[in-house]
Chain A
């Protein structure tokens, strides 16, 4: 049977809280480290630059890929077997 032991909601919540705390810790840590060779003005002056960069890049990538899928990349699994021309069905 397909039975998987899932963690209890309380345990789940604790894990989530820990991860969010770690995330916040990393963001705060970034304020304490000086970059001696910034590659852009934003990187030099915007606090949490790489946090924003990562978050928004990921959102853009997910949105872009979904949009491209809807725009025509997505096709049924048998798309390569669908006849191109009516007479192909006979063969």
Chain B
């Protein structure tokens, strides 16, 4: 009988022990930990139901909800953790592996949890560990970018927490299940927005190109796979069928591709591509039919495969040349043939070319749109698919590996295929992209709903070849218009980045002036007044209060001195006291009798 083993514990335990593992064992250990986590996920896939439960106060926390949806996401997350760790195997700094594993552990925690309390815990674990993958780039912009990323995700976390608390107040339940989307309440929107921010739903998306373009070469491989797809999982679990998501998804698909077409930075292009591709998944979840959910999940899985491969390919360029801008690269196929070939497989995969990954998933979402009579959404997604072929299938490989060589002599001399472990990881990624493309049966059997979808119909095949071929023709004719320029394209982040600067200006100028004026006012008027009051208080204390207290004390002391004489023990004083007392009594008695 199998037992549920939480892969999060394996990754966290592995991260905790890593600093003590040294020498030749370290490489084996780095591979063993994510492989163990993957094995645990495979073992868990044999189980079903709510496992690993814990009663805390009045709530039941579920750490191991195993069903088809959680299993397929856990499998792909664990698999990409293995690949990304293999890709960064030669990274010597333990902290980078620890941050990456903690991040993946958080994602697996979210995927397996069955309640909002533990979801929030793992959600924040993801945010606070992934920021280190940006900071570890150690570039001139890394620190600022990381802080922006952290602030945005903290805001998203607070929105999510507000939704969770309001929901608990309203329904008295923390279970992480499908919400009542027919009658959405404020908490429904807040939870959806919290998830949506991590899914990079426009206009809450700017953190993604900002952060992923700035991450370390291996950190970006984890980042591109985990945050947005974990959010897609959460949306599929809680918000499936919310029609507004169709609108959000289509906007994402179109918005991302415009920026990707213009972008000059190879990794920012891929980041914009994530916004666009996650748009397909969000739209699929919004459509909400079985085919659409299956399509969204299948696309999330293959997206993780090809996007991690593409980030590995561009990461190899960054690793060897130190450059990421098209305007400083080009013609690299001659110096990086293996990287070029493997990255091309990623490009074919995202372009949905037959026999490659997205061919078997993207058409499911678009087909589901037509089937659900959401024709406008399906046509716009089809339109966006042309954009995907343009920016990722053609522009990226053409201007990076072929086209005009814009490398400086230094860049050109440094360019070369990366170390063996990086190439092996890329080869595995490319092989998986091809395998899932030619034999999607395993993927389809693992989807949440049973499906008989067949992407290899003659019509779909010829349709796709036309889309690819004639988009390539348009690219060929217009390629000069798409030559990347060394400029930036402002986005929604302009608002908060300039808002931040405006805030800093407000602090440095009006607020600082007010602080100075207040200080001067205090020094000129308030301080002398306070000193006057203090001097008066001192005089009053010294002369009046102390005078009374000291005078009283002196009187008591003098009286005490006199009384002491009476207690000296001499017989003549005793007689004196007795006779004086007797005389006093006699006088009192006499006066009493007389009056």
Contact = CB atoms under 8 A, between A and B. Distances in A.
Contacts of A17: none
A22 B494 CA distance: 45
Contacts of B468: 54
Interface string A25-51: 011011001111001100000001011
B489 A54 contact: no
Contacts of B490: 72-73, 75, 79
Given A58-B471, A73-B490, A65 B505 contact: no
B334 A33 contact: no
**Which of A4, A23, A34, A61 gathers the greatest number of chain B CB atoms within 10 Å?**
A61
**Which of B258, B379, B389, B494 gathers the greatest number of chain A CB atoms within 10 Å?**
B258
B390 interface: yes
Contacts of B312: none
B498 interface: yes
Given A29-B465, A50-B467, 13 more contacts: A1-B412, A50-B462, A50-B470, A55-B473, A58-B475, A62-B390, A62-B474, A68-B262, A73-B259, A75-B488, A75-B489, A80-B498, A87-B509
A5 B462 CA distance: 35
A11 interface: no
B489 A50 contact: no
Contacts of A75: 487-490
A62 B261 contact: yes
Contact of A74 (B261, B478, B487): B487
B310 to A, nearest CB: 20
Contact of B474 (A4, A22, A58, A69): A58
B386 A61 contact: yes
B486 A77 contact: yes
A25 to B, nearest CB: 9
A43 B27 CA distance: 56
A80 B568 CA distance: 94
B573 interface: no
A8 interface: no
Interface residues of B, number: 54
B331 A61 contact: no
A44 to B, nearest CB: 12
B126 to A, nearest CB: 27
* Majority secondary structure of chain B interface residues (helix, strand, loop or mixed): helix
Interface of A: 1-2, 4-5, 22-23, 26-27, 29-30, 33-36, 39-40, 48, 50-55, 57-59, 61-62, 64-66, 68-69, 72-77, 79-80, 84-85, 87-88, 91
Given A2-B412, A75-B488, A76-B488, A65 B261 contact: yes
B489 A62 contact: no
Contacts of A1: 409, 412
Interface in B345-394: 370, 375, 378-379, 382-383, 386-387, 389-390
Contact of B470 (A23, A72, A91): A23
B262 A2 contact: no
26 contacts: A2-B405, A2-B409, A4-B331, A4-B334, A4-B405, A29-B465, A50-B466, A50-B470, A54-B467, A54-B468, A55-B470, A61-B387, A61-B390, A62-B482, A66-B481, A68-B258, A68-B262, A69-B489, A72-B490, A73-B491, A76-B488, A77-B487, A80-B488, A80-B494, A84-B498, A91-B508
Contacts of B467: 50, 53-54
**Which of B261, B405, B466 gathers the greatest number of chain A CB atoms within 10 Å?**
B466
A62 B98 CA distance: 42
A34 B110 CA distance: 45
A2 B321 CA distance: 14
Nearest to A35: B459
Nearest to B260: A65
A72 B490 CA distance: 8
Contacts of A23: 469-470, 472-473
Contacts of A85: 505
A62 B508 CA distance: 43
B257 interface: yes
A33 B505 contact: no
Contacts of A57: 383, 386-387, 471
Contacts of A34: 459
B462 A76 contact: no
B459 A33 contact: yes
A68 B405 CA distance: 27
B482 A88 contact: no
B180 interface: no
Contacts of B370: 39
Nearest to A80: B497
Given A55-B470, A76-B488, A29 B412 contact: no
A63 B507 CA distance: 43
A85 B326 CA distance: 32
B375 A61 contact: no
